[in-house]
Structure 1
Amino acid sequence: MSGDTRARILDTALDLFSTRTYKAASMREIAEHVGITKPSLYHHFRSKTEILNSLISPAIEQLDAVMTRALTPEETLSGCIEAMLKHRKAMALLLRDVSVYSDETAEIMARVMGIVERATELIAGPKPDWRQRVRAAQAFAAATDPISMFPNVPDKELHDELLRGATAVLKRN
């Protein structure tokens, strides 16, 4: 039952964060929507930041796994797109809600930025010059930023189009 409550808290928090923003949604509101008391909520999560971390961590872990196994820039891009699509709603929260960026979430955001930097390095390839690094950053953004803008496009179709666009950025001179 505890695992079920925890999952309901996470689902509810993600919905509230997505509709009201991370900052505007309160622990009290999350507890009320789940149908538990605020002290019960604190039994599962010590803070709203801990909830955010629990929502984002699966995506970060999957993205981290991509960095470990990716061999080519296209594989890195494809793997990052797949991971972000699998966790589309949580990733949309990071991409669209500026209120998630605060002093209390600095550690979470540092993890996210570390993933972005590692992906950009892998996409740029060995010993890149500054232009290759710029293109790699542009390709990563082209592959990932639009994910939150097209919530109703099927994953496979969106994946393929994002990858097509991102690789086109890499091939430009």
Structure 2
Amino acid sequence: MPGDTKSRILAVARELFVEQGVQNTSLRQISERLGLTKPALYYHFASRDDLVRSIVQPLIEDFQRFVDDREPTGGDPRRLLGDYFDLMWRHRDVIVMMVRDLSTLSHLDLGTRVFGWRRQIVALLLGPDLTREQHIRATVALGGMSDCVVEYAELALEEVKPTAVEAAAVALGI
């Protein structure tokens, strides 16, 4: 039962954070929506920061696992782009939450992590020694796919992914 309450708190907090932003959502709002007292909420999460960390942690773990489990170069770049898009799509609510409230990025040092993951993905796609043009193309490709995840989050995956992945591949010249 406590696990169920914690899951409900996370789901409602995620929903409110996406709707209103992290800074504009109080623990009182979360507890009221759940029909819980604030002390009951504090039993599961010590603070709003703790709640945000719990929501973002699965994204951090999945992205780190994604880059760690890939073989350097030699793979199918379109498949890698598609897998990367799928990963972002699975976490699109958290990505929307982060974009809506950019302080979330600094809160968990996510900005540094995101750019680190992108550099690793670019190296997986194009190798370690890139020209300035390749770096710029990679920025457009990966950034564009990220923007599609945020901009079209309400659409079906099948409506967004094929075009986003193809546009990224064209931007990369692959």
Distance 2:46 2:54 in 1: 12
CA contact (8 A) 1:27 1:38 kept: yes
- TM-score, normalised to structure 1, is 0.86
1:35-80 per-residue CA deviation (whole Å, 9 max, x = no partner) reads 2111221121122122222222222222222212253433332222
- TM-score, normalised to structure 2, is 0.85
Residue 148 of structure 1 and its aligned partner are, at CA, apart by 1.4
* Structure 1 equivalent of residue 23 of structure 2: 23
Which sections of structure 1, spanning at least 5 residues, go unmatched? none
Percent identity for Structure 1 against Structure 2: 30
SS in 2 for 1:69: coil
CA contact (8 A) 1:63 1:79 kept: no
Q: 2:96 aligned to 92, 96, 113, which one?
A: 92
* Structure 1 equivalent of residue 161 of structure 2: 159
For residues 155 and 101 of structure 1, do their structure 2 counterparts lie closer, same or farther at Cα, with a shift above 3 Å needed? same
1:145-171 per-residue CA deviation (whole Å, 9 max, x = no partner) reads 121111232113311111011111111
Residue 101 of structure 1 and its aligned partner are, at CA, apart by 4.0
Matched to 1:115, the amino acid is W
* Structure 1 equivalent of residue 56 of structure 2: 56
Which sections of structure 2, spanning at least 5 residues, go unmatched? none
Distance 1:164 1:155 in 2: 14
* Structure 2 equivalent of residue 38 of structure 1: 38
- Computed over aligned residues only, the root mean square deviation of the Cα atoms, in angstroms, reads 2.1
